[in-house]
Structure 1
Amino acid sequence: MKPADLTKLSMKKAAELMHVDRAVVAELVKQGCPRNANGTINLYKLTAWLLVRTKGEAVG
């Protein structure tokens, strides 16, 4: 996958790349994770958003 492709992922593809269930990504969307105008997910922005939310600490 090209780096540019990581900026426009479906929720299903984002879940696959993150090795989580699609429900996890759906929950992140509910919590306000950043999405593109067309509803796709930018993996770089999602990662930054998660790091800010967790202050870089492990979750779980």
Structure 2
Amino acid sequence: MKTIEYQAVYFSKLTKPHYQELDMHKLNELGEEGWELVSIVSGQCIFKRAVTAQLDETKR
């Protein structure tokens, strides 16, 4: 089964100074970490990414 984790980031944290436009560099950094923007709700950007479970080799 695929496990998903979520993260909420305030919209203001993803904008350039004085809230004039989105900072694409910040969005690209999140994308490189596997985060995908799924919604913007009440001033917060909601991101999700798949959780990759690493199997414990001793349990095989």
User: What's the TM-score once normalised by structure 1's chain length?
Assistant: 0.26
Return the structure number with greater helix share. Answer: 1
Whichever of the two has the greater Rg, that structure is: 2
User: What's the TM-score once normalised by structure 2's chain length?
Assistant: 0.26
